[in-house]
């Protein structure tokens, strides 16, 4: 009899242990507050209509009152961004107010869900590097949405995306800590956490062209005739055909610096850049090192055009991928600084730039792979 009791108790402990393993890392393990941070201007204001649709679905997954409902659905708040870069201070202000009450349990977590693109997510996380007790989620409503692709969030299924945000699992996410010269004041240096990708060369110039087009400053007839979803692609093709291959010096970790003609240089936390173009197969934000890729030995427009097609759709022997912990890039002495494209944002940073890969600085929610 005692033997059977011991066996039953052992089975009970094993089952309890398995349940804990399954639940560990689930979004609602310890989450006390959920906040949707909405950028209605994202994706040429398409996020505005997307949000109007999605906010009607949210009560299916989250409660609208200030306490847990009987079904244990967590209550949520909504913050709408008020302008470029405003999400940084708005998100952190919400966090400090949430973190202030003395009666908040030590194990409580805050879940910030960003409704927008890579740029909006990047703005939100800036003050949270290494902050414990905060998880992030993404409802992809931007132009590129490469971070959401890395997290394996559905692009066009808001119901499934909300279900994942409610029932998914949190996972560690590395980021690039970037120090770069301010474009508006070269005597000042700015610091930025990059959570999706950064790039220099023709794709950064294409980003500048697209920004001017979006602001209505550009008078390019070809871009004005294109659908909005094609503008960046056409701008990249234009910058490819006009590339002048400025010289840069790049130093990877403790290796000797190398000098190369700049055409394309990109770095990602996941496999894709530019709305799903796979530059880094196998790259993920849980790695111990970041990756940089660049075209080496390409110094003519004709070769560049061919290699860009190969990189985007097949593979190129000229495209080099290098793992790194630290990276430094400077423009040639006597030449003008080069623009840097960070998480879809352009116009604020330029070379020289130093980059450090920071593993495990954020927690992002994605699908539960155990299901």
- Is 1 within the bounds of a domain? no
Q: Which residue has the tokens 């699908």?
A: 367
The answer to whether 221 and 369 are in contact (CB under 8 A) is no
Q: How confident is the model at residue 211 (pLDDT cuts 50, 70, 90)?
A: confident
- Is 90 within the bounds of a domain? yes
58 shares a domain with 111: yes
In Å, what is the CA distance from 171 to each residue of 78, 151, 272, 318? 24, 9, 18, 34
- Total tally of structural domains belonging to the chain: 2
Q: How confident is the model at residue 143 (pLDDT cuts 50, 70, 90)?
A: confident
Q: For 60-79, how does the pLDDT look when each residue is reduced to its tens digit (9 = 90+)?
A: 888 755 444 444 556 789 99
DSSP assignment letter at 332: P
Give the CA dihedral 54, 56, 59, 60, nearest 10 degrees: -80
Kindly state the tokens that stand for 16. 């309890």
Which pTM does this prediction carry? 0.85
- Is 248 within the bounds of a domain? yes
198 shares a domain with 306: yes
195 shares a domain with 94: no
Distance CA 354, CA 167 (A): 38
DSSP assignment string, 56-93: HHGGGTSBSSSS--TT-PPBEEEEE--STTHHHHHHHH
Q: Which residue has the tokens 């309890």?
A: 16
- Is 129 within the bounds of a domain? yes
157 shares a domain with 50: yes
Q: For 10-43, how does the pLDDT look when each residue is reduced to its tens digit (9 = 90+)?
A: 544 444 333 333 333 455 557 788 999 999 877 6
188 shares a domain with 148: no
260 shares a domain with 135: no
Strand duo 197-201 + 264-268: pairing: antiparallel
- Is 75 within the bounds of a domain? yes
100 shares a domain with 73: yes
- Is 368 within the bounds of a domain? no
Q: Among 115, 135, 167, which residue terminates a domain?
A: 167
- Is 11 within the bounds of a domain? no
Q: For 325-349, how does the pLDDT look when each residue is reduced to its tens digit (9 = 90+)?
A: 999 999 999 999 999 999 988 889 9
The answer to whether 185 and 337 are in contact (CB under 8 A) is no
Domain limits for position 190 = 176-362
191 shares a domain with 44: no
- Is 16 within the bounds of a domain? no
Q: Among 114, 146, 167, which residue terminates a domain?
A: 167
256 shares a domain with 161: no
CATH number of the domain residue 329 falls in: 2.60.200.40
181 shares a domain with 87: no
228 shares a domain with 353: yes
Q: Among 167, 197, 221, which residue terminates a domain?
A: 167
CATH number of the domain residue 50 falls in: 3.40.50.10330
State which H helix or E strand residue 158 sits in.
helix 158-167
186 shares a domain with 275: yes
The residues with which 328 forms a beta bridge, in sequence order, are 251, 354
Q: How confident is the model at residue 195 (pLDDT cuts 50, 70, 90)?
A: very high
CA nearest 130: which of 192, 166, 174, 86?
A: 174
Residue 2: pLDDT over 80:
no
């Amino acid at each position: 009899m005692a033997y059977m009791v011991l066996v039953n108790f052992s089975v009970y402990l094993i089952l309890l242990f398995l349940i804990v393993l399954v639940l560990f890392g689930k979004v609602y393990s310890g989450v006390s507050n959920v906040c949707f941070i909405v950028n209605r201007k994202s994706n040429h204001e398409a996020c505005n209509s997307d949000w109007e649709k999605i906010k009607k679905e949210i009560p299916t997954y989250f409660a609208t009152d200030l306490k847990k409902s009987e079904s244990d659905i967590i209550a949520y708040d909504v913050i709408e961004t008020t302008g470029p870069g405003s999400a940084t201070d708005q998100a952190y202000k919400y966090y400090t107010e949430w973190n202030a009450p003395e009666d908040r349990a030590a194990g409580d977590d805050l879940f910030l869900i960003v409704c927008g693109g890579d740029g909006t997510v990047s703005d939100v996380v800036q003050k949270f590097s290494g902050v414990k007790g905060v998880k992030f989620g993404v409802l992809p409503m931007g132009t590129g949405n490469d971070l959401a692709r890395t997290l394996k969030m559905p692009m066009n299924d808001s119901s499934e995306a909300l279900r994942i945000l409610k029932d998914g699992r949190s996972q560690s996410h590395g980021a690039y800590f970037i120090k770069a010269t301010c474009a508006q004041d070269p005597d000042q240096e700015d610091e930025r956490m990059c959570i999706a990708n950064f790039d220099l060369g023709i794709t950064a110039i294409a980003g500048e062209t697209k920004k001017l087009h979006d602001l209505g400053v550009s008078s390019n007839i070809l871009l004005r005739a294109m659908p909005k979803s094609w503008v960046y692609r056409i701008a990249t093709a234009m910058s490819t055909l006009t590339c002048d291959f400025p010289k840069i010096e790049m130093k990877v970790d403790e290796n000797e610096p190398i000098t190369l003609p700049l055409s394309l240089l990109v770095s990602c936390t996941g496999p894709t850049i530019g709305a799903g173009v796979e530059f880094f197969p196998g790259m993920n934000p849980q790695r111990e090192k970041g990756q940089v890729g660049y075209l080496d030995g390409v110094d003519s427009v004709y070769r560049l055009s061919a290699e860009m097609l190969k990189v985007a759709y097949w593979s190129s022997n000229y495209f080099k991928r290098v793992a790194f912990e630290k990276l430094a890039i400077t423009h040639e002495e006597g030449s003008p600084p080069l623009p840097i494209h960070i998480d879809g944002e352009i116009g604020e940073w330029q070379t020289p730039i130093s980059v450090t890969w920071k593993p495990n600085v954020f927690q992002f929610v994605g699908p539960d792979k155990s299901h």
